[in-house]
Structure 1
Amino acid sequence: MSGVLLLSCPDQQGIVAATSAFIARFGGNIVHAEQHVDRLAGNDVSVFFQRIEFDLARPNVKHEAFLDAFQVVAEQFEMTVDLRNTAVPVPTAIMASKQPHCLYDLLTRWRSGELPMDLRVVVSNHPDHRDICEHMGVPYVHLPVTKETKPQQEQQVLATLAKHGVELVVMARYMQILTDDFVSHHPMRIINIHHSFLPAFIGANPYRQAHERGVKLIGATAHYATADLDEGPIIAQETAHVTHRENVAELTARGRDIETVVLARAVRSHLEHKVAVQGHKTIVYS
């Protein structure tokens, strides 16, 4: 068995020693460990975070048995514990609209083995990408939506995700605002790419806004979708320097390149169990 432990608890002495000793007693070997102490402003309590990758020499050990045994340590330090099996890729769905760049990039990275996800389905409110998805061997579900049919369409999307056993949802420029009800079904398991360096230039036509303001940086932000539009915890960001010589089309092209890289980076971090959420922000392990 191989796995990743994601831990958080009030910071105190002895956490690393107790966790390492437990894994050793269980016949495990730690192959990578990283930790962080978050000292919250105005709060006397600091929060300890740790990510531990480990292998167990006993191949038949079930994750449930490991977690049950680990509860002694968890209770001692008031830990929140998440155990992930690194041998099992995360069941994933991609949602897309008409713009192809993020979808096609994710499909290519998945087919090449760069993204360790179990891609179950692509859902779109447009029919445009059916051929490429079916060529890649991914089921494509077209669920059109209008303002009047949005509640029914969202229920159809949720039913599709449930049918395919999806855990992670990636919004690859899916140009529909998700309702609070939709987001509540996949808390901190919906990754969105925003076509600007949040919080600047939100809303429609960000590259036109940027051009009109004569910006010298453009960027993109990948974050978890929450009930607050574009306010979810940020996973990855990137910027590029631009000049007054670049027109809107050139800024848009450069921006799309950034979007694909940032979204793929965020998705990979989630798939590799390297993201911990603390309030409105994330700890992203290396």
Structure 2
Amino acid sequence: MPEPHFVLTLSCPNRPGIVAAVATLIFEQGGNILEAQQYDDQATGQFFMRVVFNPAAAPPGGPLTPEALRAALGPLAERFRMHWTLRDAGVPRRVLILASRPDHCLRDLLYRHSSGELPMQVTAVVSNHPRDIYPNLPLGDIPFHHLPVTRETKMEQEAALWELIRSTDTELVVLARYMQVLSEGLSAKLRGRCINIHHSFLPGFKGAKPYHQAHDRGVKLIGATAHYVTGDLDEGPIIEQDVERITHADTAEDLVRKGRDIERRVLARAVAWHLQDRLLLNGRKTVVFA
């Protein structure tokens, strides 16, 4: 069995002594720090930290467990006014994938999952299209749910979707080119745990057919953006972006084809970083400990 290790992330108002206090607590609990990253945002006065550690020795109170660590962290968190998470890194995150058409991001995530590149437990794949439009989709034993939606049924569809998220204990929702806009209510429930891939280099070219908009403007770079979903359409905190150079000879269809490659890799990186607790929210932005 692999040795257990834990990931602690935190944010709080910056002040002297935070790093020392966290390191001392981990040491006193019998932990050995394997990796530590920190960032002081001088513009906002906020401090961010990610620490990976494993058991070095059994503390006086017994084995190093998440429950014991959380109990020990409580007073420290109160002292420094911390927002924090602690997770056993050996327990895979539970992820639900939402998709429409095209399905290149969905297939890419499923491939990376099956190959072990994305260590997660896929609780379900949900689409507003029926299963038969995805030929040879490598689902294995992953449940597939068809939840069609119209303007008149949007609230009922989202209620069914939320019940599925809740009943499967889903921790992260990934919009793998899910071509439906989530309501403000559902977006609020999923704050900080719903990732979208936008087929454009945000904040430019929002809305429908961004590659065609880019082609009409004669751009020389196209890109894609992974961001957390909020109630403001395509305005959530940006996680990752990438670009590719194009020329005057590229058609709008060439941009779409090249854009799909960018979308796949950008979304995969964003999901991987979330699974590894490398993303911390910082207001309208993110801190990425990549």
Asked if Structure 1 and Structure 2 have the same fold, meaning a TM-score greater than 0.5 normalized by the shorter chain, the answer is yes
Determine the C-alpha separation between the residues in 2 that align with 1:11 and 1:164: 37
Residue 131 of structure 1, CA deviation:
4.8
Which shows bigger deviation, 73-82 or 160-169? Answer: 73-82
- Give the Cα–Cα distance (whole angstroms) in 1 for the partners of residues 72 and 10 of structure 2: 15
Q: TM-score, normalised by structure 1?
A: 0.95
Match of 1:52 in 2: 51
Q: Determine the C-alpha separation between the residues in 1 that align with 2:165 and 2:135.
A: 17
Q: Distance in 2 between matches of 1:186 and 1:209?
A: 30
Q: Deviations over 1:122-172 (max 9, x none)?
A: 0000012375144x3211001111111111111111112222221100000
Report how far residue 64 of structure 1 moved: 2.2
Q: Does 1:119 align with 2:119?
A: no
- Normalising to structure 2: TM-score of the pair? 0.93
Unaligned runs of 5+ in 1: none
Segments of structure 2 that go 5 or more residues without pairing to the other structure are none
C-alpha RMSD of the superposition: 1.4
Matched, 1:265 2:269: yes
Shift of 1:14: 1.4
- 1:73 CA drift (Å): 2.2
> 1:1-286 alignment to 2 at 5 Å?
1-40=4-43, 46-56=45-55, 57-58=57-58, 60-127=63-130, 128-129=133-134, 131-134=136-139, 136-286=140-290
Shift of 1:7: 1.4
Cα deviation, 1:227-271, whole Å, max 9, x if unaligned, reads: 111110011000111111100111100001000000000000000
**CA spacing shift, 1:130–1:273, aligned 2, 3 Å:** farther
Aligned length: 281
Contact 1:133–1:140, Cα closer than 8 Å, also in 2: no
Q: Deviations over 1:44-74 (max 9, x none)?
A: xx11111000002448433122111122322
Q: Is the 8 A contact 1:130 1:140 kept in 2?
A: no
Deviates more, 1:60-69 or 1:208-217: 60-69
Q: Structure 1 residue 216: deviation in Å? A: 0.4
Identity %: 49
Cα deviation for residue 95 of structure 1 reads 0.2
Aligned-partner SS, 1:132: coil
TM-aligned CA deviation for residue 182 of structure 1:
1.2
8 Å Cα contact 2:31/2:64 also seen in 1 = no
